[in-house]
Amino acid sequence: MSYKVLIVEDEPSIAELEKDYLELSQIDADIAADGTTGLANALAGDYQLIILDLMLPGMDGFDVLKEIREKKNIPILLVSAKKEEVDKIQGLGLGADDYITKPFSPSELVARVKAHLARYERLVGAAAPANEVVEIRGLKIDKTARRVWINGVEKTFTTKEFDLLLFLATHPNRVFTKTELFEEIWDMQAIGGDTATVTVHIKKIREKIEYDSSKPQYIETIWGVGYRFKV
């Protein structure tokens, strides 16, 4: 599989450096120098990952992220000069997959990009001959196409929402703690408020798949412990 990445970055020297390092790893990269162009290209182009700077002229990274997430499931790696900006995004449950703070080493960036691409390919199941589908009552999850339907109506999921739902649905009747879920889905060791991210994502998933979020039919809350997918 050949990969193409979109770099949304207004500082030309950083954008070029990122592009050069990615291309050294045989990953093609395009650059968009402002948020509006970045959003348009992200939606129109066939990219497998987006590297998104948060501080952009015109439309900022927050809005770009939000708009992309409404339409696409691809991994998004945030670049920020301030950790607080990233915390704000996570608090909002906006659905970034990872972040890196400036200044960063280009090889670290490339390592992250490669890990996400490999993970994405694994989840998409590029080698599978037919789409792999999980069906539980009215819920249908196409693992290959990363699409979800509830009673025949398709719902849009962010990358992490999808990963989390799929993980739970493929491990039914087992209780997972928020820490376990965070570490499984975010591929990072949970620290401090990270488990709040899980809560936010569960809430979003329920809003999409549950008939009544206060009486969930699929993802149960096990008070004081975590969550369980009921089958």
- String of DSSP letters for 174-221: -EEEHHHHHHHHH-S---TTHHHHHHHHHHHHHHHH-SSTTS-SSEEE
Q: Which stretch binds Ca ion (CB under 5 A): 4-12, 103-111, 128-136, 194-202?
A: 4-12
CB of 79 or CB of 94, closer to Ca ion: 79
Of the CA atoms within 13 Å of residue 133, those in its CB half-sphere come to 11
For Ca ion, which residue has the nearest CB? 55
CB of 18 or CB of 53, closer to Ca ion: 53
- Residues in contact with Ca ion, total (CB under 5 A)? 3
Q: Yes or no: say if 197 and 118 are a contact pair by the CB < 8 Å rule.
A: no
Taking Cα atoms as reference points, which of 127, 128, 226, 138 lies closest to residue 181?
226
Residue 117, helix vs strand vs coil? helix
Q: Which stretch binds Ca ion (CB under 5 A): 7-15, 128-136, 202-210, 221-229?
A: 7-15
18 belongs to the binding site for Ca ion (CB under 5 A) = no
Other beta carbons less than 10 A from residue 228's beta carbon: 18
CB of 14 to Ca ion, least distance (A): 8
Residue 136 CA, distance from chain mean position: 23
CB of 50 or CB of 200, closer to Ca ion: 50
53 belongs to the binding site for Ca ion (CB under 5 A) = yes
CB of 102 or CB of 122, closer to Ca ion: 102
CA–CA separation, 155 vs 173, rounded Å?
A: 24
Q: Which stretch binds Ca ion (CB under 5 A): 9-17, 97-105, 202-210, 216-224?
A: 9-17
State the DSSP code for 82: -
Binds Ca ion by CB under 5 A, chosen from 4, 37, 55, 138? 55
Taking Cα atoms as reference points, which of 46, 45, 42, 48 lies closest to residue 3?
48
CB of 53 to Ca ion, least distance (A): 4
134 belongs to the binding site for Ca ion (CB under 5 A) = no
10 belongs to the binding site for Ca ion (CB under 5 A) = yes
CB of 58 or CB of 138, closer to Ca ion: 58
Binding site for Ca ion (CB under 5 A): 10, 53, 55
